[in-house]
Amino acid sequence: MAYQSPAIGVAPGPGQIVRTILLLCALFSALAGYPTRAHAADTGIDPALDAALGQILDQTVGAHGVSGATLAVSIPGHGTWAGARGLANRDGDAALTSDALFGVASISKLFVATVALQLVQEGWLSLDQTVEHWLPGLVKRGDTIAVRHLLSHTSGVRDYLSEQFMEDVLADRDRAWAPRELVAAAGSQLAFTPGARGHWSYSNTNYVLLGLIIEQVTHNSLTRELHQRIIDPLGLSHTFVAPDDPIPGGLMHGYEGRRDETMGQHMSFAWGAGNIISSASDLARFAQALFGGALLRPETLAAMQIAVSVGKWGSADLVYGLGLMCSVLHATQPTPVCGHTGDLVGYRTALWYAPGSGLTVAVALNQTLANPNIVATKVLDVLHSRGFG
């Protein structure tokens, strides 16, 4: 296929409420010269900061049922600090380590969105192509649902990940789910007209459809594309795509209240929407590469940040771009951030990059009743108090 310059910089049509987040205006100046491959071994973090970050984790374990917490913090010019506290398994005695694995949940969407946008900038895919174009007959009114609608959750496609669906998953934990079965579980009726003004709804089905489109475009599996385009080039040695990749030991158990939810289900049920396993340090490295320009061109990254209002979903500051959340963490110094959060099978996760300073914070807690943004905000408080950001 001949290369065609994709119209990635074109703002979404009139059916979307679009506003460019002003808090990102300093993004590209902040990214100049920013390291994308910091390692813990290169860290120049002083002992006082090391102790302060460790103390945040100490305070986190035991609160809200959290028995394990892991954190990675990347500071431009100082490398990446990584730490963990608590137990890998609440019923055991093995201490959690800083390279512990966990389900990143919906942070997976940021990986999938990045692959999709790479295909856009290479000319193989267009944000304005429809689901019907790539997946004929799969979705009702698929000819009205564009790739950009899937990326931004403005498609109107309902979420397959309902309570009833999860009951079915739990009833047969070993069942392997085909992606098209997940789409079918969402039902055929749209919640609203795709791209309709003032309408937005978070739907995991959107990212299952994106995964299927990626496979159609590339003639490769989604897992292979994630590895070839992101995981392997960045050296993310602690990042895996379930259920295709074998998961080594070192998995942090995840809980909902007292119940152990540690991915006892066949992870095909979260395909494309939340099935990546990783470590905090690997997530931080991914964010550095993404926002540092190692994965997307500047114009593509700018298109990713054209955001729509999410209404009353999430915090008052939250807006959603193309697979990208942007918000403000209200530390002592309110900090605009971009990234994604996740909540699935016993894990709560957050990955945030601060455009104004280049700071990156990756957090994973093994308790769905806890809030990783509280940890991220405390980290920013500590960093701001020491002159970072």
Kindly list the catalytic residues: 106
What token pair was written down for 305? 């940040």
Beta carbons of 148 and 11 less than 8 angstroms apart? no
Nearest to 110 by CA among 226, 193, 267: 226
Task: Say which residues have a Cβ less than 8 Å from residue 381's Cβ, sequence separation at least 6.
Answer: 331, 332
Q: What is the dihedral of CA 344, 314, 209, 262, to 10 degrees?
A: 0
What token pair was written down for 163? 């309570």
Beta carbons of 69 and 54 less than 8 angstroms apart? no
Q: How many other β-carbons are positioned within 10 Å of the β-carbon of residue 146? A: 24
Is 36 in a helix, a strand, or coil?
coil
Instruction: Give the C-alpha separation, 23 to 42, whole Å.
Output: 30
Instruction: Give the C-alpha separation, 362 to 334, whole Å.
Output: 18
Instruction: Give the C-alpha separation, 138 to 216, whole Å.
Output: 13
Beta carbons of 106 and 304 less than 8 angstroms apart? no
Instruction: Give the C-alpha separation, 50 to 83, whole Å.
Output: 9
Q: Enter the DSSP assignment of 230.
A: I
Instruction: Give the C-alpha separation, 178 to 40, whole Å.
Output: 38
Beta carbons of 215 and 308 less than 8 angstroms apart? no
Beta carbons of 42 and 293 less than 8 angstroms apart? no
Omega before residue 243 within 30° of 0, cis: yes
Beta carbons of 355 and 23 less than 8 angstroms apart? yes
Beta carbons of 109 and 152 less than 8 angstroms apart? no
CA 146 to chain centroid: 21
Nearest to 19 by CA among 284, 308, 303: 308
What token pair was written down for 35? 């390291």
